[in-house]
């Protein structure tokens, strides 16, 4: 019986380690991406606004999966730009950009790495 408890405890420890390693990997990836974006030179491209949209993400507060403590809601604005070479470039944008961009509009898009900087219509 004691062996069963030891195996169960070992399994829980390994599962906890796996989850911790997964979380650490996600955080490391985000830090590396942000670092890469921060070092990149701004690039300006001739584009057409192909589409734009909003997605809402709702997460339980304090890790409570039941929602008993309420929810936090995040709104994410995004747009897809069509580059002159025919390649689509999806980007997360801010609310102000979302409100001013018009689908089909042509202009100059400035990005730094994978980060939206601005758009100026022609």
User: The CATH number of the domain where 93 resides is what?
Assistant: 2.40.50.660
- Residues 35-47 have a mean pLDDT of 85
pTM: 0.67
Residues 69 and 98 in one domain: yes
Same domain, 22 and 48: no
Strand 42-60 vs strand 71-83: parallel, antiparallel, or unpaired?
A: antiparallel
The number of domains in the chain is 2
Please name the residue that has the structure tokens 């929602």.
67
**Structural domain boundaries, residue 29:** 1-39
Per-residue pLDDT, averaged over 59-79, amounts to 81
Same structural domain, 16 and 47: no
Condensed to tens digits (0 to 9), the pLDDT of residues 17-30 reads 666 666 666 666 55
Higher pLDDT, 61 or 43: 43
Q: Which of 104, 83, 80 is nearest to 92 (CA)?
A: 80
CB-based burial label for 53 (10 Å; 0-12, 13-18, 19+): exposed
Specify the 3-state DSSP secondary structure of 87: coil
| Closest-CA residue to 88 (of 48, 44, 41) | 48
**Are 6 and 29 found together in one domain?**
yes
Question: Rounded to an integer, what distance in angstroms lies between the CA atom of residue 85 and that of residue 28?
Answer: 33
The answer on 85 and 35 residing in a single domain is no
């Amino acid at each position: 019986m004691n062996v069963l408890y030891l195996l169960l405890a070992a399994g829980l420890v390994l599962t906890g380690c796996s989850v911790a390693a997964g979380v650490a990997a996600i955080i490391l990836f985000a830090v590396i991406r942000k670092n890469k974006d921060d070092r990149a030179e701004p690039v300006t491209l001739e584009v057409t606004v192909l589409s734009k949209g909003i997605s809402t993400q709702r997460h339980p507060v304090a890790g409570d999966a039941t929602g008993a403590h309420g929810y936090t809601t995040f709104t994410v604005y995004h747009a897809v730009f069509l580059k002159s070479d025919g390649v689509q470039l999806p980007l997360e944008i801010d609310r102000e950009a979302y409100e001013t961009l018009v689908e089909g509009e042509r202009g100059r898009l400035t990005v730094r790495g994978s980060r939206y900087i601005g758009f100026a219509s022609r």
